[in-house]
Structure 1
Amino acid sequence: MIKENKLIVITGATGSGKTTIRDYLVNHYHVAKVVTHTTRAPRKNEQDKVDYYFENDETFAKNHFLEHVQYAKAKYGSSYEGLEKAWRNNHCAVIVLDTQGAITYHEKLGNQALIFFIEVNDPVILKNRMIERGDSEDKIKQRLSSHEYERDLKVPKELQSSAYVIENNDLKHAEATIDALVNKLC
């Protein structure tokens, strides 16, 4: 029997550990990573075509996006080509999106999209994670005061009946929850 392609959509607030959890899935389960596009500058140790396709406004506009948003003055988007490329490598792929993007994928892919909402109960943990990853104080203040940050702190009503909520105050606890879900769903 051929398995249906699945896409794990990781969403939640900035600093919740979405990228760390994506990397866990890639490294421990060999899930294919969907590389997305952004106009923001690379962070320390990020590589073009590995972490993101780093673009300018002109090149960003030439892509075929399934969804795209503007967040903290930068554009982010995921392309059909990126999704298909990931599925060529593995029937189960993973992508990191904000909650608005997760809603779009849920609507467009239906049961193929497995929504993992990453939740952190302590805002101090979120801020400390942003500091640890090298975000500037100005960038952190901008993100923490944004509408998008507030929106992404809780599961949107459109995803409440389908999202798997994963508490990530402690990474080992989150990994155990993820292990159970991946073995059941993928």
Structure 2
Amino acid sequence: MKMKTILMATLCSSMMLTNAQAADIEYFIGAGTGYQTDTIKGDVNKDTDGLPIQVRAGVLINEHHRVTGTFSYMDDKFSIGEQDYKHEQYSWLVSYDYMIPVANNTQLFMGVTAGGNDNKVAGKASADFTWGGQAGVTYQWNEHFSSDLGYRYLEQDYDKNGVSIDNSQQVYLTLDYTF
């Protein structure tokens, strides 16, 4: 019985390894920027906006599946009445996209994102879970360079001392290098 279990585990592992080796995997790194707005409610009731800066890295699997890790930073300074405020947001996100070829150098993508946001509004900081989705278009400039033009919507759980952030919305443009 024990030998049979070991044999089955070895066989399954070998099959998975063969499938992983058969997959066409490409690695990439990139950077981007765009426009972001966050809906803030409560004691501070304002939609903040700014230009997020993103760095990202990921893998493209069999040309149709993409997994990306993204770090992003955005800040906005604003006034309500005579009170000055600052909103800072650090985001650590993991995304999955399904890529749909539509032309020789162009693909549409849509997918899901989850991760964490570290928000600081009016001196009140909190790190919270965030989730959502994105869609857009990828253009392949040449063998190594591509760009994404996309839209991302993220729900947030930030609720600190009478201030809450409901969501973030981004329109972004990236430049990626594929190895």
Task: Name the TM-score class by shorter chain.
Answer: under 0.3
Which structure carries more helix by proportion? 1
TM-score, normalised via structure 2 length: 0.25
Structure number, greater radius of gyration: 2
Name the structure, 1 or 2, with higher relative contact order (CA <8 Å, separation 6+): 1
TM-score, normalised via structure 1 length: 0.24
Which structure carries more strand by proportion? 2
